[in-house]
Amino acid sequence: MSKFWSDVVHKLTPYVPGEQPKLDDLVKLNTNENPYGPSPKVIEALKLEAADSLRLYPDPNSDKLKATIANTYGLKSNQVFVGNGSDEVLAHVFQALLKHSRPLLFPDITYSFYPVYCGLYDIEYQTIPLAEDFTISVEDYDLPNGGIIFPNPNAPTGIPLALDKIEKLLKINTQSVVVVDEAYVDFGTDSAVNLINTYPNLLVTHTLSKARSLAGLRVGYALGATDLIEALTRVKDSFNSYPIDRFASAGAIAAMQDEAYFQSTCGKVVATRKSLVKDLIDLGFKVLPSGANFIFAKHQVKDGAELTAFLRRKNIIVRHFKLPSRIAPYIRITIGTDEQSKKLINALSEFLIDV
């Protein structure tokens, strides 16, 4: 607290990211990064970018990157917005499209950055409880609202929402923007991108941090109707003209173009998830169905805090959320390599030996 702070800073409750400890031999399963490095073509592109041209500003419109992304999804470049990670894209979405006189709606258990943006931009919101089985019931969103946002698959549950349900929601809710945050969609969830040309109020956000193994590069994008994209561009151009630097642009273009590498890494993560789920069930865990590169699991006897503390002592970090209390028994485990899964299962077997 300081007398020099503005009122808004006094009132902020900032987002707390998962830890990034600098320990060797750590099994890091806490922030949903990809266990595999980016495509070798990304590394090549980054090396080429380390050149004299760094003295020049990058393209403020990121035209080449937008064209590459548009091409990937069969959209037009003016249906694409790019930003410094999808967190920055989302920040602009909250300010440009979700701040209205009616409350923004999102699930009670979801990505914890959403209420933080509401605090930053002074947006009124209402949380809609997930059903008993942690699924989203789209009927519950049939309320007066200034916008709707949810991740698909949801975080931290990992549960996917079927496309017909999303379409049902878009039919119910035509007067405000519906944002589907597809940060984890490439790990086995159906994308809503193909609905964009039918529903002018649908905005889909993606990140290169997860399926494209580029959390360190900071690139995310939004796809939607041109007037939604224009609103985001207006905010961006009132904030930072160059959110995508020359490295981010070159690396992201190369990553988007290497479809074969992307498919193969996602395939490996999904295969590891399948075997990890089976091993956890054998140890007495209940695992929620996941369409993401993480799983949300609870043990029948040990609670989430105990499991997390024990694993930490074994140099394995997973994520635990104390609140809301409904999810306190669970731990969120990022899918790593098969070898990391093995270390996790060995540690848990040791802990649960007498259970």
Nearer to ligand PLP, 107 or 220 (CB): 220
Beta carbon of residue 224, minimum distance to ligand PLP (angstroms, whole number) = 16
Q: How far is CA 282 from the centre of its chain?
A: 29
Q: Which two tokens stand for residue 195?
A: 């609905």
The rounded distance, in Å, linking the Cα atoms of 182 and 179 is 9
Nearer to ligand PLP, 32 or 34 (CB): 32
Interface residue with ligand PLP among 38, 147, 151, 224 (CB under 6 A) is: 151
Binding segment for ligand PLP (CB under 6 A), chosen from 81-89, 133-141, 158-166, 308-316, is: 81-89
Identify the CA nearest to 90 among candidates 133, 58, 121: 121
Nearer to ligand PLP, 111 or 125 (CB): 111
Kind and range of the H or E run holding 169: helix 163-172
The rounded distance, in Å, linking the Cα atoms of 238 and 173 is 29
Q: Does 209 bind ligand PLP (CB under 6 A)?
A: yes
Biggest CA-to-CA distance, the chain:
63
Q: Does 115 bind ligand PLP (CB under 6 A)?
A: no
The rounded distance, in Å, linking the Cα atoms of 333 and 346 is 15
Interface residue with ligand PLP among 163, 172, 215, 345 (CB under 6 A) is: 215
The rounded distance, in Å, linking the Cα atoms of 192 and 233 is 22
Q: Does 155 bind ligand PLP (CB under 6 A)?
A: yes
Q: How far is CA 120 from the centre of its chain?
A: 19
Q: Does 38 bind ligand PLP (CB under 6 A)?
A: no
Binding segment for ligand PLP (CB under 6 A), chosen from 85-93, 119-127, 189-197, 246-254, is: 85-93
Interface residue with ligand PLP among 39, 79, 86, 95 (CB under 6 A) is: 86
Q: Does 146 bind ligand PLP (CB under 6 A)?
A: no
Interface residue with ligand PLP among 32, 135, 191, 334 (CB under 6 A) is: 32
The rounded distance, in Å, linking the Cα atoms of 123 and 115 is 9
CB 347 within 8 A of CB 314: yes
Q: Does 290 bind ligand PLP (CB under 6 A)?
A: no
Beta carbon of residue 341, minimum distance to ligand PLP (angstroms, whole number) = 20
The rounded distance, in Å, linking the Cα atoms of 126 and 159 is 21
Binding site for ligand PLP (CB under 6 A): 32, 85-87, 111, 151, 155, 181, 183, 207, 209, 215, 220
